[in-house]
A and B are shown apart, each in its own frame.
Chain A
Amino acid sequence: MSADLLRGALVRLAAPDPETDAEAFARWSRDSEYARLQDSDPARPRPAQYYRDQAAEAVEPDAYAFRIWRLAEGHAAQSASVKPTAEPSAPIGHVSLWVVWPHRDAWLGIGIGARECWGQGYGTDALRVAVRYAFDELGLWRVSLSVLGTNARALRAYAKAGFVEEGRARGQNCYDGARVDEVFMGLLRADWERGR
């Protein structure tokens, strides 16, 4: 049993906080590369107020939403490639599980908005914590997600976490005049148990 369910080696999953989060989400929304990787809506900068209003509206009882925070200096596990940070003042990303209770399934969405944190294992670590939460705390049977077929970094992270490709909606997305597949992935509890 883990000492802290919501803490990984590099990050912790924290509760959403509309005040702190809104500024971060607004900052990320100005990064069109991030926006394209994040979802199929057109990239579009939004003011912080937009995210504050959204937070006030969104009451989804079956959504388990977290913000990803780097662990403060001294708390992060030592890793050669990662510099410990001073006390962080903003989240670096978000991860949510939208649970469908009758089927014990959840849809997972994750993003590292702070691009200076890309490719350093934060997403992989947050994903591991979120998946562990889904199985050990929520008692789910499977976790589902979809990802843009060209998002090699995310595909690698999901595969590392045990997700298996289950389908491919051919050309469901379109960027720069080219059709891009949407890839569906799933992780069964039984497979995750074997790999833990």
Chain B
Amino acid sequence: MNWLRGERVELAALDLEADTRRYTAWARDSEYWRLVDTRPARAWTTAQARTELDDGLPQASALLFMIQALADGRRVGFVDMAAGAWTPGDVWLGIGIGARADWGRGYGAEALRLALRYAFDELDASRVSLTVFEYNPRAIRVYEKAGFAHEGRERGRLNRAGRRWDMLYLGLRRDEWQANGAARATS
């Protein structure tokens, strides 16, 4: 068994130069950007994007994987994990599928399953936390299906397109993940 590989995607290492170009290309779609980041959408220069991707890596607690489709070797997205604090074993997770053509095809759901197995079985996480925006029902559904529970809702935390949107906090505990045998078996 390869913990980094599923049926359709694998979690691959960053290729700084090539992935920097992909990052800037994905970020040119402001809708994608608004789904994955609280910062304003902007046109990223190659230098800015390289710093962004490179900076987190020296930190021992930060792990960044590219999501690569097994069928054709394309990079379709990213998943990153960071141990908020090692002692309580809480891992923060972020995930994004870059190109619109790759949305809704299950890449994110499978990458999430792989990332969760990595967090619980490799990093020994006791829980995994994430935030997601109210206007991203597709992602919320994927997280719910993976077993995440709704834990909080920051009222009006996001200011976008002339109105306020909530930021949702979701969490998945190790015992819940273990009880949810389906999440393990399918990957």
Contact = CB atoms under 8 A, between A and B. Distances in A.
Chain A interface SS verdict (over half) = strand
A102 B89 CA distance: 31
Contacts of B171: 169-170, 172
A166 B131 CA distance: 13
A30 interface: no
B127 A142 contact: no
B135 to A, nearest CB: 14
A184 interface: yes
Interface string A139-173: 00110100000000000000000000011111111
A26 to B, nearest CB: 21
B88 A173 contact: yes
B126 A171 contact: yes
A171 B85 contact: no
Interface residues of B, number: 26
Chain B contact surface mostly: strand
B126 A142 contact: no
A104 B154 CA distance: 13
Given A40-B84, A100-B38, A103-B38, A171 B155 contact: no
A172 B38 contact: no
Given A174-B88, A184-B169, A169 B129 contact: yes
A144 B85 contact: no
B127 A171 contact: yes
B156 A141 contact: yes
B87 A174 contact: yes
Contact of A186 (B149, B151, B155): B155
B162 to A, nearest CB: 13
A53 B178 CA distance: 44
A21 interface: no
Interface string B161-172: 000100001010
A23 interface: no
A165 to B, nearest CB: 8
B159 interface: yes
Those 6 A-B pairs whose CB atoms lie nearest each other, nearest first: A167-B152, A174-B88, A40-B85, A103-B159, A167-B169, A184-B152
26 contacts: A40-B85, A40-B87, A40-B90, A42-B85, A103-B38, A103-B157, A141-B156, A141-B159, A141-B164, A166-B153, A169-B152, A169-B169, A170-B149, A170-B173, A171-B88, A171-B127, A171-B173, A172-B88, A172-B90, A172-B127, A172-B129, A172-B171, A174-B88, A174-B89, A186-B155, A188-B155
